[in-house]
Structure formats: structure tokens, C-alpha cells
Chain A
Amino acid sequence: MATTEILLAGFGGQGILFAGKILAYCGLMDGKELSWLPSYGPEMRGGTCNCSVCVSDQPIGSPLVLTPDILIAMNQPSFDKFVKDVRPGGKVFFDSGLIEATTDRTDIELFGIPSQQMADDNALKGGSNIILLGKVIKETGIFSLDIMKKGIEKVVPPSKAALIPNNFKAIELGMNA
């Protein structure tokens, strides 16, 4: 497998870095080389936030994702800003309830699901990011469901282990959306 470059972007508080960490841990559990790099800035509530994840069989060169194979966008500014950078043939995943997906690109695939609404409807507060990850693994096959579950188990701290089943539920919701 060549290097898969993934960019996740949205508002602080949407779980962008956490979703990125799950993908990174999936890579770890899958025996891959990987890197995870957050954007960082003044510690401000509600600011924009993004995160680069690279997964590969080879050692990772630059960990900064500039032309993503996979873009996960959770708000309109992030979609608008990064959709033009997606590599031709790349896939874009976004919350169709929050984002109006207007782009003139025809060389990429768009996958919009109302992830925030789905999270609310299923009592999965804050699960929108995980639902999108479910959609990602279904449409890209980058990781198996089994690896995804292992990744989640690794990321969620022991003190919050009770939330693991909810995360699994969110993944499956996304896969079936």
C-alpha cells in the first residue's frame, strides 16, 4: 500500500483530533507506519482545527498533509478551504447537515451524510466524528471494522471505557449510512 494521506478539519470541540487519533491507532494496530500531526495555535475555544494523518507500509516522510487522499470535513469553512487540495481520485467525507457541498471538481468523490443529526437521533452526543469514520472505512476500505474497533479500544482512556460501545454503534451507523 502506498501512503494514504488523510486530512480532518472542523471546529475545535468537534472531535477532529480524536477522530484523527483513532485512525492513527488503527494504523498502529494494523502494523503500519503512520504519523498524526495536529494544527496548533493559541488555546482558544471554538477556533478552527485540523489534523493530518498518514498511513503507509513505508516510513512516513513529511507528516504534513497538503494533498489529501481522504478529506473529512466537519464544517463549511473547512470544506471550502480544503476541497480544492484533494488529490485527483480522492474522497471527501462531510456532514451534509452542516455543509453545503459546492465544488466544481469532478475528479473527486463526495460522500455526505448528516452525521451530526444521526448522532443526535441515536443519543450519541459528540459522535458525529465517529459516524463519519464509519463511512470512511466503508467507502475506502482503508481499515477493517475489526481494526477500527481495536483502534477505538486503544484510544478511549480506561476512565471512559463505558463509552466504547457507543463508539462502536457510531461506526456501524456510519457504515450503514
Chain B
Amino acid sequence: MERNLMKGNEALAEAAIRAGCKCFFGYPITPQTELAAYMAKRMHKAGGVFLQAESEIAAINMVLGAASTGVRAMTSSSSPGVSLKSEGVSYIAGSDLPAVIINVQRGGPGLGGIQPSQADYWQATKALGHGDFQLIVYAPASVQEMVDFVVKAFDSADKYRMPVMILADGLLGQMMEPVSFPEINPDAYDKSSWAANGHGFKREHHIINSLYLKPDELEKSVVDRYKKYDIIKETETDAELYLTEDCDILLCAFGATARVVKSAVNDARAQGIKAGLFRPKTLWPFPVKEINEAAKNAKVLLSVEMSMGQMVDDIKLAVNCSKPVEFYGRTGGIIPTPVEVLEQIKKIGGTL
């Protein structure tokens, strides 16, 4: 397969177009702007729509409108812009619409900074908007996974009729790596039973809506959605297990941080320390089975993140607090180094 060299942001855009995305709505924000710029150049050739919205709020609602008609639609932003989109994401979830949302994270809170961060983990996995709902959240760790997960995201969104997020970061968005585009045959999903694209007097009218004034009706709609979430938790988890079979210390990291941690794990192994890496590729649903498999022989777990430790609780819950879970992180746009992580491994390893 031909290898190309692409920035993560551009690879996301190209993969989306190849996955049959017909609408992109966005608003400029660093460090994801190359994605919109790429769409501006390429989308019309693919017969789709690129529109720069007047705000992130408008962009996500344009996605809601396009998705309502049964078209594959996407938006992308970075942390502060994703906060603005959160209202629309809640409406999309409440209306059972498929959509793909990309967050190329930067440091927060507030305007924060523009360097890479993973401090939107909680937002993505717990509360991207009000109400009872979840998104499927994919965490790529390479430019190739940006491509692979976008394709998956569109399929999952259509399959489950729900919003799906790619949670990337500024490092992955800005870096170039070799990437190849697999033959993509987007699964065909029949949306004719719900899409609001004009009934043409041939069917009952369709309503796209998240308003239920009767509490029992609202409760039922939410409970039904949670049955779907149970299936997703059972079937859609994904993780990479690296040198975990005999590891004493299990490092847990996702996205760009996992690359740094992998380097540190290799360095630790070279020094005779039995370290391993658990890398969730889905952050929601969290890969519970996979982490328990990875941690079966470990004495201690160490979560490494570009945040103040937002994944730690999920790890503790997943292993049922059966083992100590330590944390090391940098935040505000600082990327931990393999040397720093190795120091932590030694520090914790020393207490075994």
C-alpha cells in the first residue's frame, strides 16, 4: 500500500472524505485548523460541503441539521471550541443522530494555551453536555490511527445512531508520519426509517427531536439508549497491550502520551525492569476486560497523562481497586518525556 506523509489533522480530513463524509462544518482554532483548511480545498471535489461557520455553536448545529437528513457529517475543533459545541452534542445524542466530532486538545481551562493536552478526558468520557448520555470516544496514538479511527467512528455513529468523538491532541494533529489509506467501503446504513429529508407523500412524517415533556416518555427514551450503551460496552472496547504478559508495573496511557510511555517502557526493559503498557484505544467504553488482562500479574499500575490525572478513576474502577494506581502527569501543554516517565517507573518499581 502506498505510504504518504501527512499531518495528523490532514489525515483526519482525508480519511473522513474517504469514509463518505459529505458535510464538514467548523470554525478556526489552533491546533486543528489544518483540518478545516484541507476540507476547504478537497471537499468540493468529493461532491461534499465545506462551510466555515460563524461559531462553534453554529457549526455543531449545522452538523445536527445535516445528520438529521441522513448524511454523514462532521465537525472538528480544539478544547475551548468543543466546550461551545457541548450543547449541540447533547441535542445530537438526545435526537439519536449519528455524527463525528473531533477534538484536537490543547491546554485548559479557559482560553488555556495552544500546546498539546489531554485535559478534556473527563469532558469527553463523562459530560460533554447536559443529561444522561455517552459518546463513543476513540483515542488515536498515530497518524495512521487518525485515519483508521475516523473510518470506524463514522461506522459506529451510523450503527448506533449516536455522536462519536475522536479525542486527539495538538501533537498528533501537527505531526507528520507515514500513512496509508486502506480501501474504504463505508458500510451502507439504511436511514430511511428516521431521516428527515422530505416524505414526498410516500411515508409518515419523521421528527428529529430531543424534547419529551412527559417524564415517563423521556425516561423510556433514555433507558432505551442505555440498553444500546450496554451492548457497546460489551462489544466495542479496544486496547493495545504491550509487554504486559509478565509485567510487574503496568503503565496506562492513551494517545500521544502512550508513545512517550512506550519509549520509557522499552528503556525500563533494557534496564531489567519488567514494565508493560496498557493503551486504551476506546476511552468510552473503557476497556475493562483488557486492562484486567494486562494487569493480571502487575503489582502496581501507573497512569501517565497530559492532565492532572483524569483517567485514574476509570482505571481504579476497572480493576476494582484491587491494586495500587499511581499517577504521573504534566499539564498546561507540556509533554512528559521518556526520561521523566522512566524516573517514575524506577521510583514506583523501587517500592515493590
Instruction: Please give the residue numbers on chain A whose beta carbons come within 8 Å of chain B beta carbons, in ascending order.
Output: 21, 24-25, 28, 33-38, 40-42, 60-64, 66
Contacts and interface: CB of A to CB of B under 8 A. Distances in A.
Interface in B154-210: 170-171, 174-178
Nearest to B260: A62
Nearest to A66: B337
B262 A25 contact: no
B3 interface: yes
Given A24-B5, A25-B5, A41-B114, A60 B174 contact: no
Contact of B175 (A28, A36, A61): A36
21 contacts: A21-B5, A24-B5, A25-B5, A28-B3, A34-B178, A36-B5, A36-B177, A37-B174, A37-B176, A40-B31, A41-B114, A61-B260, A61-B263, A61-B266, A62-B259, A62-B335, A63-B177, A63-B259, A64-B171, A64-B337, A66-B339
B171 A37 contact: yes
B337 A62 contact: yes
Nearest to B341: A62
A62 B263 CA distance: 7
A154 B4 CA distance: 10
B338 interface: yes
A26 to B, nearest CB: 11
B114 A61 contact: no
B30 interface: yes
A18 B339 CA distance: 29
Contacts of B176: 21, 24, 35-37
Contacts of B175: 35-37, 63
List 8 tightest A-B contacts by C-beta distance, closest first. Answer: A61-B263, A36-B176, A62-B260, A37-B175, A61-B259, A61-B262, A62-B263, A63-B175
- The size bracket of the interface on B is 20 to 34
Given A40-B31, A40-B114, 8 more contacts: A25-B5, A36-B177, A62-B335, A62-B337, A63-B171, A63-B259, A66-B337, A66-B339
Contacts of A36: 5, 175-177
Nearest to A25: B5
Interface of B: 3, 5, 30-31, 114, 170-171, 174-178, 259-260, 262-263, 266, 335, 337-339
A51 to B, nearest CB: 10
B170 A40 contact: yes
Contacts of B114: 40-42
Contacts of B262: 61
A60 B176 CA distance: 12
Contacts of B174: 37-38, 40
A107 B259 CA distance: 29
Nearest to A31: B3
Contacts of A61: 259-260, 262-263, 266, 338
A38 B176 CA distance: 9
Contacts of B335: 62, 64
Nearest to A67: B339
A38 B260 CA distance: 17
A61 B258 CA distance: 8
A63 B175 CA distance: 8
Contacts of B338: 61-62
A72 to B, nearest CB: 17
B114 to A, nearest CB: 7
B147 to A, nearest CB: 15
Contacts of B260: 61-62, 64
A63 to B, nearest CB: 5
A172 to B, nearest CB: 24
Most buried by B among A41, A62, A64, A66: A62
A60 B259 contact: yes
A28 B179 CA distance: 10
A34 B150 CA distance: 22
A66 B337 CA distance: 8
B289 to A, nearest CB: 25
Contacts of A66: 337, 339
Contacts of B259: 60-63
Contacts of A33: 178
A64 B264 CA distance: 13
B84 to A, nearest CB: 21
A8 to B, nearest CB: 14
Nearest to B336: A62
